[in-house]
Protein backbone atom coordinates (compact mmCIF):
# COMPACT_ATOMS: atom_id res chain seq x y z
CA UNK A 1 0.00 0.00 0.00
CA UNK A 2 2.85 2.40 0.85
CA UNK A 3 4.41 1.61 -2.51
CA UNK A 4 1.12 2.17 -4.30
CA UNK A 5 0.59 5.52 -2.60
CA UNK A 6 4.12 6.59 -3.52
CA UNK A 7 3.41 5.67 -7.13
CA UNK A 8 0.27 7.81 -7.02
CA UNK A 9 2.18 10.67 -5.37
CA UNK A 10 4.66 10.67 -8.26
CA UNK A 11 2.08 10.20 -10.99
CA UNK A 12 -0.57 12.54 -9.61
CA UNK A 13 1.84 14.73 -7.75
CA UNK A 14 3.85 16.55 -9.70
CA UNK A 15 0.33 16.18 -11.05
CA UNK A 16 -2.94 15.91 -12.81
CA UNK A 17 -5.70 18.21 -14.09
CA UNK A 18 -9.44 18.18 -13.85
CA UNK A 19 -12.73 19.35 -15.21
CA UNK A 20 -16.06 20.60 -13.69
CA UNK A 21 -19.13 22.19 -15.33
CA UNK A 22 -21.09 23.48 -18.35
CA UNK A 23 -24.08 22.38 -20.84
CA UNK A 24 -23.39 21.91 -24.50
CA UNK A 25 -25.75 23.85 -26.67
CA UNK A 26 -22.59 25.33 -28.21
CA UNK A 27 -20.06 22.54 -28.67
CA UNK A 28 -18.73 24.34 -31.72
CA UNK A 29 -20.31 27.54 -33.06
CA UNK A 30 -23.31 26.51 -35.08
CA UNK A 31 -22.72 22.78 -34.58
CA UNK A 32 -24.52 20.10 -32.63
CA UNK A 33 -23.12 17.33 -30.41
CA UNK A 34 -23.50 14.91 -33.31
CA UNK A 35 -21.46 17.17 -35.61
CA UNK A 36 -18.43 17.32 -33.34
CA UNK A 37 -16.68 14.02 -32.79
CA UNK A 38 -15.44 13.19 -29.32
CA UNK A 39 -11.90 12.74 -30.66
CA UNK A 40 -11.83 16.16 -32.32
CA UNK A 41 -13.41 17.87 -29.34
CA UNK A 42 -10.85 16.34 -26.98
CA UNK A 43 -7.92 17.23 -29.24
CA UNK A 44 -9.09 20.84 -29.55
CA UNK A 45 -9.65 21.15 -25.79
CA UNK A 46 -6.23 19.82 -24.87
CA UNK A 47 -4.56 21.96 -27.53
CA UNK A 48 -6.27 25.05 -26.11
CA UNK A 49 -5.22 24.08 -22.57
CA UNK A 50 -1.57 23.73 -23.60
CA UNK A 51 -1.62 27.26 -25.04
CA UNK A 52 -2.71 28.78 -21.73
CA UNK A 53 -0.09 30.48 -19.55
CA UNK A 54 -1.17 28.41 -16.56
CA UNK A 55 -3.95 27.24 -14.26
CA UNK A 56 -4.62 26.00 -10.76
CA UNK A 57 -6.12 22.63 -9.85
CA UNK A 58 -6.89 20.43 -6.86
CA UNK A 59 -6.64 16.65 -6.83
CA UNK A 60 -8.42 14.63 -4.14
CA UNK A 61 -8.92 10.96 -3.35
CA UNK A 62 -9.08 8.67 -0.34
CA UNK A 63 -6.67 5.84 0.42
CA UNK A 64 -6.64 3.59 3.49
CA UNK A 65 -9.20 5.84 5.16
CA UNK A 66 -7.13 9.00 4.75
CA UNK A 67 -7.77 11.93 2.44
CA UNK A 68 -5.11 12.86 -0.10
CA UNK A 69 -5.21 16.48 -1.23
CA UNK A 70 -2.91 18.05 -3.82
CA UNK A 71 -3.29 21.78 -4.49
CA UNK A 72 -1.32 22.90 -7.52
CA UNK A 73 -0.33 25.81 -9.71
CA UNK A 74 0.90 24.75 -13.13
CA UNK A 75 2.66 26.96 -15.67
CA UNK A 76 4.78 26.42 -18.78
CA UNK A 77 8.14 26.69 -16.99
CA UNK A 78 7.28 26.63 -13.28
CA UNK A 79 4.86 24.85 -11.03
CA UNK A 80 4.11 24.07 -7.40
CA UNK A 81 2.25 21.27 -5.65
CA UNK A 82 1.29 21.30 -1.97
CA UNK A 83 0.44 17.79 -0.79
CA UNK A 84 -1.30 16.59 2.37
CA UNK A 85 -1.88 12.95 3.33
CA UNK A 86 -2.21 11.21 6.71
CA UNK A 87 -0.06 13.76 8.55
CA UNK A 88 2.43 14.17 5.70
CA UNK A 89 2.95 17.69 4.33
CA UNK A 90 4.99 18.30 1.16
CA UNK A 91 5.75 21.45 -0.82
CA UNK A 92 7.21 20.55 -4.24
CA UNK A 93 8.32 23.27 -6.63
CA UNK A 94 9.71 23.03 -10.14
CA UNK A 95 11.55 26.15 -11.27
CA UNK A 96 13.63 26.05 -14.43
CA UNK A 97 15.67 22.84 -14.37
CA UNK A 98 15.43 22.26 -10.62
CA UNK A 99 12.93 20.64 -8.27
CA UNK A 100 12.76 21.84 -4.67
CA UNK A 101 11.11 19.78 -1.93
CA UNK A 102 10.24 20.83 1.62
CA UNK A 103 8.45 18.36 3.87
CA UNK A 104 7.79 17.38 7.45
CA UNK A 105 9.11 14.03 8.71
CA UNK A 106 6.10 12.09 7.44
CA UNK A 107 6.34 13.92 4.13
CA UNK A 108 10.00 12.98 3.70
CA UNK A 109 9.07 9.32 4.10
CA UNK A 110 6.14 9.63 1.69
CA UNK A 111 8.13 11.45 -1.00
CA UNK A 112 11.43 9.59 -0.77
CA UNK A 113 10.24 6.23 0.56
CA UNK A 114 12.60 6.36 3.52
CA UNK A 115 12.16 7.80 7.01
CA UNK A 116 14.93 10.26 7.86
CA UNK A 117 13.78 13.14 10.10
CA UNK A 118 17.18 14.78 9.61
CA UNK A 119 15.87 16.25 6.37
CA UNK A 120 12.47 17.32 7.62
CA UNK A 121 11.70 21.06 7.35
CA UNK A 122 14.69 21.65 5.08
CA UNK A 123 14.73 22.44 1.38
CA UNK A 124 16.20 19.73 -0.84
CA UNK A 125 16.98 20.34 -4.49
CA UNK A 126 17.16 17.94 -7.44
CA UNK A 127 18.47 18.75 -10.92
CA UNK A 128 17.90 17.01 -14.24
CA UNK A 129 21.00 14.89 -13.63
CA UNK A 130 19.35 13.22 -10.61
CA UNK A 131 17.72 9.85 -11.28
CA UNK A 132 14.52 10.86 -9.44
CA UNK A 133 14.10 14.15 -11.32
CA UNK A 134 11.88 12.82 -14.11
CA UNK A 135 9.72 10.87 -11.64
CA UNK A 136 9.19 13.86 -9.36
CA UNK A 137 8.65 16.31 -12.26
CA UNK A 138 5.81 14.32 -13.84
CA UNK A 139 2.65 16.40 -13.92
CA UNK A 140 4.10 19.55 -12.34
CA UNK A 141 4.25 21.75 -15.45
CA UNK A 142 1.18 22.58 -17.48
CA UNK A 143 2.18 20.52 -20.51
CA UNK A 144 2.71 17.30 -18.57
CA UNK A 145 -0.45 17.91 -16.55
CA UNK A 146 -2.54 18.21 -19.70
CA UNK A 147 -1.00 15.00 -21.08
CA UNK A 148 -2.53 13.10 -18.16
CA UNK A 149 -6.12 14.13 -18.92
CA UNK A 150 -7.19 12.28 -22.05
CA UNK A 151 -9.34 9.20 -21.29
CA UNK A 152 -8.06 5.94 -22.77
CA UNK A 153 -10.33 4.09 -25.22
CA UNK A 154 -12.39 7.26 -25.66
CA UNK A 155 -16.12 6.72 -26.09
CA UNK A 156 -17.71 8.27 -29.18
CA UNK A 157 -20.55 9.59 -27.04
CA UNK A 158 -20.51 13.31 -26.24
CA UNK A 159 -22.86 14.09 -23.36
CA UNK A 160 -24.26 17.45 -22.35
CA UNK A 161 -24.33 18.01 -18.59
CA UNK A 162 -24.94 20.68 -16.00
CA UNK A 163 -22.74 20.73 -12.91
CA UNK A 164 -23.11 23.30 -10.14
CA UNK A 165 -25.24 25.38 -12.46
CA UNK A 166 -22.67 25.45 -15.23
CA UNK A 167 -22.95 23.68 -18.59
CA UNK A 168 -20.28 21.18 -19.59
CA UNK A 169 -19.43 18.64 -22.24
CA UNK A 170 -18.65 15.19 -20.83
CA UNK A 171 -16.20 12.81 -22.53
CA UNK A 172 -15.55 9.38 -21.07
CA UNK A 173 -13.40 6.29 -21.41
CA UNK A 174 -10.99 4.20 -19.37
CA UNK A 175 -8.57 5.95 -17.01
CA UNK A 176 -5.41 7.47 -18.49
CA UNK A 177 -2.60 5.11 -17.40
CA UNK A 178 -0.36 7.98 -16.28
CA UNK A 179 -2.80 8.76 -13.48
CA UNK A 180 -1.91 5.49 -11.80
CA UNK A 181 -5.37 3.90 -12.09
CA UNK A 182 -6.14 1.47 -14.89
CA UNK A 183 -9.62 0.06 -14.30
CA UNK A 184 -13.02 1.68 -13.98
CA UNK A 185 -14.16 4.81 -15.85
CA UNK A 186 -12.76 8.28 -16.43
CA UNK A 187 -14.97 11.25 -17.27
CA UNK A 188 -13.48 14.55 -18.41
CA UNK A 189 -15.78 17.58 -18.22
CA UNK A 190 -14.99 20.43 -20.60
CA UNK A 191 -16.37 23.94 -20.58
CA UNK A 192 -19.01 24.42 -23.23
CA UNK A 193 -17.43 27.80 -24.00
CA UNK A 194 -15.62 28.02 -27.33
CA UNK A 195 -12.18 26.82 -26.15
CA UNK A 196 -13.63 23.93 -24.12
CA UNK A 197 -10.99 24.16 -21.37
CA UNK A 198 -10.98 21.35 -18.77
CA UNK A 199 -13.20 21.98 -15.76
CA UNK A 200 -13.11 18.68 -13.90
CA UNK A 201 -11.87 15.12 -14.21
CA UNK A 202 -13.41 12.21 -12.29
CA UNK A 203 -12.08 8.65 -12.19
CA UNK A 204 -14.24 5.94 -10.64
CA UNK A 205 -12.03 2.89 -10.16
CA UNK A 206 -13.03 -0.60 -9.12
CA UNK A 207 -11.51 -3.43 -7.05
CA UNK A 208 -8.79 -4.40 -6.50
CA UNK A 209 -7.89 -0.71 -6.59
CA UNK A 210 -7.70 0.92 -3.14
CA UNK A 211 -8.74 4.26 -4.66
CA UNK A 212 -12.44 4.22 -5.52
CA UNK A 213 -12.77 7.82 -6.72
CA UNK A 214 -10.27 10.46 -7.81
CA UNK A 215 -11.28 14.02 -8.66
CA UNK A 216 -9.32 16.87 -10.21
CA UNK A 217 -10.93 20.32 -10.36
CA UNK A 218 -9.47 23.16 -12.47
CA UNK A 219 -9.70 26.92 -12.17
CA UNK A 220 -7.91 30.17 -13.07
CA UNK A 221 -7.03 29.23 -16.63
CA UNK A 222 -4.70 31.86 -18.09
CA UNK A 223 -3.06 32.70 -14.76
CA UNK A 224 0.69 32.11 -14.94
CA UNK A 225 2.36 30.23 -12.09
CA UNK A 226 4.82 32.52 -10.36
CA UNK A 227 6.89 30.26 -8.10
CA UNK A 228 9.62 31.53 -5.79
CA UNK A 229 12.99 29.77 -5.85
CA UNK A 230 13.93 28.64 -2.30
CA UNK A 231 17.36 29.65 -1.03
CA UNK A 232 19.83 27.48 0.85
CA UNK A 233 18.55 24.16 -0.53
CA UNK A 234 20.72 21.06 -0.07
CA UNK A 235 21.41 18.97 -3.22
CA UNK A 236 19.85 15.53 -2.96
CA UNK A 237 23.23 13.88 -3.53
CA UNK A 238 24.57 15.50 -0.37
CA UNK A 239 21.77 14.16 1.83
CA UNK A 240 21.38 10.68 3.32
CA UNK A 241 18.17 10.15 1.35
CA UNK A 242 18.01 7.64 -1.53
CA UNK A 243 18.97 9.26 -4.83
Report pLDDT digits (tens) over 140-196: 999 999 999 999 999 999 999 988 788 999 999 999 888 877 788 999 999 998 899
Cα Rg, the chain, nearest whole Å: 18
Say whether pLDDT at 81 is over 60: yes
Residues 216-239: what's their mean pLDDT? 96
Let me know the angle formed at the C-alpha of 15 by 120 and 48, rounded to the nearest 5 degrees. Answer: 145
**Would you state the CATH architecture of domain 2-225?**
Clam (2.50)
Decide if 92 contacts 13 (C-beta within 8 A): yes
Instruction: Look at 193 and 207; give whichever has higher pLDDT.
Output: 193
pTM of the model: 0.83
Pick from 195, 194, 197, 193: nearest CA to 220: 197
∠ at Cα 71 (172, 126), nearest 5°?
110
Residue 36's pLDDT band (cuts 50, 70, 90): low
Rounded-to-integer distance, Cα 13 and Cα 51, Å: 22
Cβ burial 48-63 (10 Å sphere, 16+ → b, else e): bbeebebbbbbbbbeb
User: Can you give the pLDDT at residue 68?
Assistant: 97
**pLDDT at residue 166, rounded to an integer:** 83
pLDDT of residue 210: 83
Query: Rounded to whole angstroms, how far apart are CA atoms 76 and 98?
Result: 14
Mean pLDDT of the residues in the chain: 86
CA atoms within 13 A on the CB side of 13: 28
Amino acid sequence: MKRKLRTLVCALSATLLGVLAITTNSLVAGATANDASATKLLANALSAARKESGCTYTTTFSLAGHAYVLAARAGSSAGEQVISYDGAQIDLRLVGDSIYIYANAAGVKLQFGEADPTWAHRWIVLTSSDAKFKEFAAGVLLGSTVSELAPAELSTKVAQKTIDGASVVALSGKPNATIGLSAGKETLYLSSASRHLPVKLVVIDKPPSEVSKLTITFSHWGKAAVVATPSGATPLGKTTLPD
